[in-house]
Amino acid sequence: MKKLILVAFAIIVVAVGLFLAFARIPYVDYFNPFLKKETSYAVVPLGTQTYVDIQAYDESGEPLKYRLNFGGYDAQSDHVKVIHKGKYVFEIEYIHDLSKWPKEVKVTE
């Protein structure tokens, strides 16, 4: 009986570990110890406060494997710097001076 409980507990631990490693859910990503905060860059549509399904790029210009959803508003700027951990967005910063935009990030959308 103890062996069965130990095996069931081990299976649950492995399942939770795999879930944390591969699932991209904002509030799960916030608490996920396997992820680190990263900085990405994106172009967002003007005239809205809710940005949905935004493709972001890391500092080397590679697109993220997932898309971000976040809120914010700036009537003049559509370039943003996003600080996030997986899909959980901590902070966005609008970039008005495009000389601060990384040259490796070339948005084709």
Q: For 86-102, write each residue's pLDDT tens digit.
A: 999 999 999 998 888 88
CA distance linking residue 109 with residue 35, whole number of Å: 27
**pTM score, two decimals?**
0.80
Residue ranges of alpha helices (H) inside the chain are 2-22, 26-31
What are the residues facing 58 on neighbouring strands?
Answer: 40
Residue with tokens 């493709």: 55
DSSP state of 62: P
CA distance linking residue 72 with residue 82, whole number of Å: 11
CA distance linking residue 79 with residue 95, whole number of Å: 5
Q: For 25-37, write each residue's pLDDT tens digit.
A: 888 889 888 889 9
- Domains of the chain by residue range: 2-100
Q: Report the topology of domain 2-100.
A: OB fold (Dihydrolipoamide Acetyltransferase, E2P) (2.40.50)
What are the residues facing 50 on neighbouring strands?
Answer: 71
What confidence score (pLDDT) does residue 93 get? 95
CA distance linking residue 23 with residue 18, whole number of Å: 8
